[in-house]
Chain A
Amino acid sequence: MASDKELSDFLKSVEKRAFKRTAYAVRDDDAALDIVQDAMIRLAEKYFERPAAELPLIFQRILSNATMDWFRRQKVRNAVVRNFSYFESVDTDGDFDLLETLEAVEGSTASESASDTVSRAQILVMIDAQVAELPARQREAFLLRYWEELDVAETAAAMGCSEGSVKTHCSRAVHALAKALKAKGIAP
């Protein structure tokens, strides 16, 4: 059973990422804060007896469900479906080379870097915006897998899809981000 301190530490460690992830989805900070609070309370009320190690995955599932509930309540499910349909679109990044981008990023000198012309804060804002622009499922997979550091199986469980779908979502998200950031001359 997770102690009060373990629960508190867990929530503290995850709250900002949870808020950002939700804000990306609902595009409304107040709504995102309400959803995160709702998810935290659901976790605390119903899963307080679970061991601390199980909390991350349970919380991500609750947060995803709470976000979906919000969409249902807002009756904008059509908009979500439209976002989700981006996932089904044909990948047109066949000629895009991630290695090329990474090499450019890692081998870039100060003179080649976009940080010469754009301040670091602006770069962060632009990266943030690009992540927000990703199709919903790709963004969710990308953030759960790499930001929340869930493994492929856990991400699939949290998203309610297959592990293969998670890999596809992640791959497409990374390629879309790399392509968009490269086009803007931004090195993450």
Chain B
Amino acid sequence: MNHSIPYRRPAEPEALQARFALRVVARLDERAAQLGPDVAERLRFARERALEKAREARSLVRPAIEPLAVGGSTLAWGGLGDSSSLWVKIGSVLPLVALVGGLMLIQHWHTRAQIDAAAEIDAALLSDNLPPSAYGDPGFAEFLNTPRD
């Protein structure tokens, strides 16, 4: 007996299965399209109730973040939609950035003033004549004897 067995690629059964299944579901689609008006009406009602619930849920979430009243004036924090939420975040971070930047500038200015004052004193000392009594000062003698690098 020499039966010739047709060769099938491994993926073939799945493809056949999918083709058959898609034919069946196409018929199911046709059948679903024939649903009675009473069913269609109840589905429409269900959909509208669901949308109503979604709107209610959204309205419950929004007021919590929307207007924040401070001392009679109103600050808008939210409820502005996705596109403006980035600007709200930037707006809330900006004062903090300005504060940190200001503190760093003050620190820099203060350090600079100290350096300038020290440089001024050094320059005045170095440019002035050395008093003769300085040569008798043990500290100055020690300074002169200290080896330089």
Contact = CB atoms under 8 A, between A and B. Distances in A.
Give the interface SS of chain B, mostly helix, strand, loop or mixed.
Answer: helix
A43 B61 CA distance: 16
Contacts of A142: 21
A107 B1 CA distance: 30
Count chain A CB atoms within 10 A of each CB in B17, B29, B35 and give the residue with the most: B17
A171 B34 CA distance: 28
Give the interface SS of chain A, mostly helix, strand, loop or mixed.
Answer: helix
Interface residues of A, number: 47
A98 B53 CA distance: 46
Contact of B35 (A7, A16, A177): A16
A19 B51 contact: no
Contact of A105 (B8, B23, B46, B55): B23
A178 B20 CA distance: 8
Contacts of B123: none
Nearest to A16: B32
Contacts of A146: 18, 21-22, 24-25
Interface of A: 1, 4, 7-8, 11-12, 15-17, 19-20, 29, 33, 36-37, 40-41, 43-46, 48-49, 98-99, 101-102, 105, 121, 123-125, 127-128, 131, 142-143, 145-147, 170-171, 173-174, 177-178, 188
11 contacts: A8-B47, A20-B35, A37-B46, A41-B49, A44-B57, A102-B20, A147-B25, A173-B21, A174-B17, A188-B23, A188-B26
